């Protein structure tokens, strides 16, 4: 579904990503783990067209999307929950979800999906009329994910959804990821919380200073002594 072939990205003279190749197939949850500064967010920013690769190509459903403007990816079925959540602070929860369906015109479908988002995150229903800026960090993350789902994406890109959340909320977020996946949406999950990410994904890539150093089945990686030592703190 999504393929990166030998993608290299520079921030001016500094090479941020070197020769990244990865694939995400239909129906999978793929996670990209790594330490701070390894290039996880840079990879997502490159996929979403915010950065232009110096080398290599990115294809989605057979079409090249390298450097394509973010807003053009949404009608193609890609949705993103950006780093730092990026909720519209002065709009209500409902208005935020409405914005998620910005490219859609089918009123009935939108209101059905709104209900679905509320089922996925009942907390959002309670806060429906509240301004998004007044929500807690965890609720904002739920809103960001619910909003991303409002465009009915085939591929959902999640950037550090568990960042800065209490353990209980991390659990809620990963449960939601399982639910979204069971409804048939493919997910590329960028995470620092390697433990949770590996337990809720099919395959994983490990990034270190801009290179993919390991890849494979999530369960196997979780059992790998090198991963255990470096990322799982065991």
Partner 1 sequence: MSSWLKSLIIGIVVIALLYVLNGMMSKGGFFGAGIDDYTARLLVFIAINIILATSLNLINGFTGQFSIGHAGFMAVGAYSSAYFTVNYGKQLESAFSFLGETGASSIILIIAIVIGAIVAAIAGAIVGIPSLRLKGDYLAIVTLGFAEIIRIVILNIDAVGGATGYQVPGYANFLWIGIFAVITIVVVHNIVKSDAGRALVSIREDELAAEAMGVNTTRYKVTSFVISSAFAGIAGVLFAHYNKFLSTNDFQFIKSFEIIIMIVLGGMGSMTGAVVGAIVVTLLPELLRQLPAIQVGASTFQFSDLRLVIFALILIFTMILRPQGIFGTAEIGNIYRRFRNKLGKPGGLE
Q: Where do contacts with partner 1 occur on this chain (CB under 8 A)? A: 48, 50, 69-71, 74-75, 79-82, 86-91, 95, 98-100, 102-103, 147-148, 151
When the beta carbons of 35 and 50 are compared against partner 1, the nearer one is 50
34: left (phi over 0), alpha (psi -120 to 50) or beta: left
Minimum CB separation from partner 1 for residue 160, in Å? 14
When the beta carbons of 71 and 219 are compared against partner 1, the nearer one is 71
Sign for the pseudo-dihedral over CA of 167, 25, 110, 101:
positive
Minimum CB separation from partner 1 for residue 1, in Å? 19
Minimum CB separation from partner 1 for residue 210, in Å? 22
Whether 30 and 189 have beta carbons less than 8 Å apart is answered as yes
Minimum CB separation from partner 1 for residue 82, in Å? 6
When the beta carbons of 68 and 204 are compared against partner 1, the nearer one is 68
Whether 109 and 94 have beta carbons less than 8 Å apart is answered as no
Minimum CB separation from partner 1 for residue 157, in Å? 9
- The angle subtended at Cα 48 by Cα 134 and Cα 5, nearest 5°, is 145
Backbone angles phi, psi at 63, to 5 degrees: -105, 140
When the beta carbons of 99 and 213 are compared against partner 1, the nearer one is 99
The two beta strands, 211-217 and 63-64, are unpaired
Whether 9 and 54 have beta carbons less than 8 Å apart is answered as yes
When the beta carbons of 189 and 221 are compared against partner 1, the nearer one is 189
Distance, CA of 101 to CA of 97 (rounded, Å): 7
Minimum CB separation from partner 1 for residue 143, in Å? 11
What distance lies between CA 101 and its chain's CA centroid? 18
When the beta carbons of 153 and 218 are compared against partner 1, the nearer one is 153
144 burial class (0-12, 13-18, 19+ CB within 10 angstroms)? buried
């Amino acid at each position: 579904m999504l393929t990166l072939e030998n993608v290299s990205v520079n921030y001016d003279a500094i090479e941020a990503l070197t020769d990244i190749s990865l694939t995400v197939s239909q129906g999978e949850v793929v996670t990209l783990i790594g330490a701070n500064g390894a290039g996880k967010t840079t990879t997502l920013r490159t996929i979403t067209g915010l950065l232009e690769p110096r080398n290599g190509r990115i294809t989605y459903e057979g079409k090249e999307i390298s450097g394509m403007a973010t807003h053009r990816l949404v009608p193609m079925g890609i949705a993103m929950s950006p780093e730092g959540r990026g909720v519209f602070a002065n709009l209500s929860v409902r208005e935020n979800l409405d914005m998620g369906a910005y490219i859609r015109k089918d009123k009935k479908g939108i209101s059905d999906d709104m209900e679905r988002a509320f089922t996925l995150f009942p907390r959002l229903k309670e806060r429906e009329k509240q301004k998004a800026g007044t929500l807690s960090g965890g609720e904002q993350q739920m809103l960001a994910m619910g909003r991303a789902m409002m465009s009915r994406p085939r591929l959902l890109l999640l950037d550090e959804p568990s960042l800065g959340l209490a353990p209980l909320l991390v659990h809620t977020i990963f449960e939601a990821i399982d639910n979204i996946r069971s409804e048939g949406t493919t997910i590329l999950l960028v995470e620092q919380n390697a433990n949770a990410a590996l337990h809720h994904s099919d395959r994983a890539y490990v990034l270190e200073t801009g290179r993919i150093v390991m890849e494979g089945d999530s369960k196997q990686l979780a059992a790998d002594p090198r991963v255990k030592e470096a990322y799982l703190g065991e």
